[in-house]
Amino acid sequence: MAWSNIIGQSRIISSLRHAAADGRVAHGYCFWGTAGAGKDAVALELAKMMNCLVPRRDKDGLLEACDECKSCHQADKFEHPNIRFIFSLPAGKSAPADRDESPLFRLSDDQIKIIREQMELKASDHYHDIDIPNAAQIKIASIRDIKKNVTMSAVQSGMRVVIISEADQMTDEAANAFLKTLEEPHSNITLILTTSRREQLPQTILSRCQQLYFPVLPDDEIAAALVARRGVALEDARLMAAFGQGSYSRACDFLNEDMRRSRHDIIDALRAALKRSEYRSALLHHVETLSGEKDRTRMEIMLALLLLWLRDAYEMSVAGAAAVITNVDQRQSIERFAAAFPDAPFGDMAIAVEEAAEAVRRNVDRRLILLTVLLRCRYMLPQGNR
């Protein structure tokens, strides 16, 4: 059933369903909070419910989409005329001469193909994180499209809903155009912004939206979702959920990865870097092997795993046997690791790893990043430790 497609977030769902039942759905919403907590999924489900031809009511009179009518099917496939879903697109070959032209107009066939594939993935899983190379801006052409839509009446019965995903990526020009749309009263339309960087949105926009905070998801809800939706074995699902850190889509990043192998590889490299003497050739060997991967995903995952390992080591060094750690299956190993480096500044080392992850996202040479971060970890150790 429809709302059960959403992982957790029962408080938010309840408040939206009550608003719908009482005819109090807001003109503008800002769904904010960590990425992968279900902001887009809830927005899409709300849009579907508001347009369902035969919505169901529970005993409290709260609505739910039927998931079976023509409108629900259209909504699920992003083909509903009342529902718009807007997201970042790559810049075209040149600046548009006509600002009213379609935002897709200047893109190459390959780019359009990727966009189509990403939309299909998003349609089949509303938690899918749309990933289009060089797409970093929501352009004014996308927002102008809404304005044209807003002035037309709803094509089908129901309510028009415009969702702007990762709305902080609107250009200044787009944000200004959006603000105008938000300020003009239109009946029968709801504008929903979703963002994991609310602070980047102009106050003028935020103040005109009802803001709903999406808290991080509990590990057990993420693990249960991975088992039910992706067929992951429970033990693996628990580990992936822990690595997801409250984000279902982040946990899903680990689906195609052999996490245990990646963790083993990166921790081995760290151990090589922290060896007392004769560490150079072993360290270089690890760095060469690990940075040779074609895509950057594995490097990002390895750094995430390294970060969690160092956090666990810090926990262990502070709380000892009472430590609550992420790498639950490696408890003894982490205990030994923390004991081997009694004065290590694990917190500072974790910061160095976070900086390295940021450099990967900026496309800095991965071999250099890995070598630098491992050497920084080494030099942070007090002399007696190394």
- Please report, as ranges, the residues that interact with Zn ion according to CB under 5 A: 52, 65-66, 69, 72
Q: Given the complex with Zn ion, which of 2 and 164 has the nearer CB atom?
A: 2
In angstroms, what is the minimal distance from the CB of 57 to Zn ion? 13
Cα 24 to chain centroid distance, Å, stands at: 29
Q: Given the complex with Zn ion, which of 42 and 52 has the nearer CB atom?
A: 52
* Runs of H (alpha helix) within the chain: 10-21, 39-51, 70-76, 109-124, 140-151, 172-183, 203-206, 219-230, 234-244, 248-252, 259-274, 280-290, 297-319, 331-340, 346-361, 366-380
Could you please report the per-residue DSSP string of 269-294?
HHHHHH-SSS-HHHHHHHHHHHTT-S
In angstroms, what is the minimal distance from the CB of 155 to Zn ion? 16
The C-alpha atoms of residue 236 and residue 222 are separated, in whole angstroms, by 12
Q: Given the complex with Zn ion, which of 52 and 267 has the nearer CB atom?
A: 52
Q: Which residues, listed in sequence order, are joined to residue 35 by a DSSP beta bridge?
A: none
In angstroms, what is the minimal distance from the CB of 25 to Zn ion? 17
| Beta-carbon contacts of residue 148 (< 8 Å; ≥ 6 apart) | none
Q: Given the complex with Zn ion, which of 69 and 224 has the nearer CB atom?
A: 69
In angstroms, what is the minimal distance from the CB of 50 to Zn ion? 11
Q: Are strands 135-137 and 89-90 parallel, antiparallel or unpaired?
A: antiparallel
Q: Cβ(35)–Cβ(70) under 8 Å?
A: no
Burial, 225: exposed, middle or buried (Cβ in 10 Å; 0-12, 13-18, 19+)?
A: buried
Q: Given the complex with Zn ion, which of 65 and 334 has the nearer CB atom?
A: 65
Q: Given the complex with Zn ion, which of 20 and 267 has the nearer CB atom?
A: 20
In angstroms, what is the minimal distance from the CB of 69 to Zn ion? 3
Q: Given the complex with Zn ion, which of 66 and 150 has the nearer CB atom?
A: 66
In angstroms, what is the minimal distance from the CB of 72 to Zn ion? 3
In angstroms, what is the minimal distance from the CB of 13 to Zn ion? 17
Name the token pair of 385.
């430790």
**How many Cα atoms within 13 Å fall on the side-chain side of residue 281?**
1
